[in-house]
Amino acid sequence: MQNRNIAAAPSYRGEQLLFLTDEQLRQGIELMFFAYRGFTADPDRILEDYGYGRAHHRCLHFVNRHPGLTVNDLLDILGVTKQSLNRVLRQLVNDDMIESRVGQEDRRQRNLYLTEAGATLEASLSEQQRARMRKAYMDAGPEAVHGFRTVLEKMIDPELRHRVLSLMERENGR
Amino acid sequence: MQNRNIAAAPSYRGEQLLFLTDEQLRQGIELMFFAYRGFTADPDRILEDYGYGRAHHRCLHFVNRHPGLTVNDLLDILGVTKQSLNRVLRQLVNDDMIESRVGQEDRRQRNLYLTEAGATLEASLSEQQRARMRKAYMDAGPEAVHGFRTVLEKMIDPELRHRVLSLMERENGR
DNA sequence: ATTTTATGTCAGCCTTGTTGACTATCCAAG
DNA sequence: CTTGGATAGTCAACAAGGCTGACATAAAAT
């Protein structure tokens, strides 16, 4: 099924523009929808046991990825309101999953770190998700993975990409 | 940035297993998260004007794709409870976006169709999303698109894929 | 000293998930 | 033919997690 329309497109090696029918684009849209469901299904099951949702998972993920990041950084990354984030963050801090330390240079800021329990939970969530991603990558092969990453990159909001990249630069510069 | 890790992998033409670090997999995970946000951003803005959410969009999309499908079909596709779907569906029917006709063979069933207004709204939502998808596809090139589709396919829950495919078969057989 | 910034919190609203109880219809066994 | 079970859909009430707005506090910047 997944090859039918691509095969129907002329000039597979694209010196020419892609032959993009609405049908092909709509299939891509559905693919995103269904794949994202699969992508979140495994962690969702674990989170349920803790009474957490995807919002908690996202916090754990990004705090793990960028230890010591501030609440504001997280707000920028997640693109939610601080009230919404705070509710989730408060739970995670109360549950001793995330530690919130007062900033050293700027004492208004709170630097966020995973506790041991938080790291454990994050690892189990991530493990499931990486397993599915790894399987998809292996089944699809390296060239497909490269294409996958290329297309997804292009779909990200340019402004968001800029914000995330500048966060990573800032980290590298420390 | 998106090429760095792929380039670092040995054996690009994969007779050998991919060299998949956790870092690469985590990057894929983040890519899914950020790309999905971009993917839904445009329709979200339009939906707001109507007081609708993504659930309404999904209904309009699939009713457009499969005119006459039943509520149960839609439940299978969307993977939510019927109560949750029904609320959204009721709004769309009341707002004269979707028509719900009593089934001819089985009068318990309701066959769903877009009204003219519904088709118009669906078109404007889809137009935005297709534009972004088209741009990403064009920028990335046909080979990348092929890889994108291949990987996403692998990420879908097998059971879900089966259900959706059997729906499409049933339609072709009418 | 005043203003701005970073964060936290309260209240209240909306969408969209959930479960449970209910109605209408179909079908099959007695 | 009727009755009982399965199926399709609807209604009601609740929870998670988005949102806005208002406000408090502490620290930094001016």
- pLDDT class of B2 with cuts at 50, 70, 90: very low
What is the structure's pLDDT at B18? 60
* Domain regions of chain A by residue span: 27-172
Q: Is residue B143 classed exposed, middle or buried when 0-12, 13-18 and 19+ CB atoms within 10 A define those classes?
A: middle
Looking at chain B, which residue has its C-alpha nearest residue A141? B14
Give me the percent of chain A exceeding a pLDDT of 90.
76
Tell whether the model's pLDDT for residue A150 goes beyond 50. yes
Span B92-147, pLDDT tens digits? 999 999 999 999 999 999 999 999 999 999 999 999 999 999 999 999 999 999 99
Span B38-90, pLDDT tens digits? 999 999 999 999 999 999 999 999 999 999 999 999 999 999 999 999 999 99
Pick the more confident residue, B72 or B19.
Answer: B72
- What interface predicted TM-score (ipTM) does this complex get? 0.87
Single-letter amino acid, residue A26: R
CB of residue A90 closer than 7 A to nucleic acid strand D?
Answer: no
Tell whether the model's pLDDT for residue A10 goes beyond 70. no
Gap from A22 CA to chain B (nearest CA, Å)? 8
H helical segments located in A19-99: 22-50, 54-65, 71-78, 82-94
Single-letter amino acid, residue A62: F
CB distance A37–B156 less than 8 Å? yes
What is the structure's pLDDT at B91? 95
Paired tokens of A110: 């709170």
Lowest pLDDT segment from A61-65, A168-172, B45-49:
A168-172
What is the structure's pLDDT at B10? 43
- Which chain B residues have a beta carbon less than 8 Å from that of A10? none
Q: Look at domain B23-172 and name its CATH class.
A: mainly alpha
Average confidence (pLDDT) over A52-60:
95
The CATH number corresponding to A27-172 among 1.10.10.10, 3.40.640.10, 3.10.250.10, 3.40.50.300 equals: 1.10.10.10
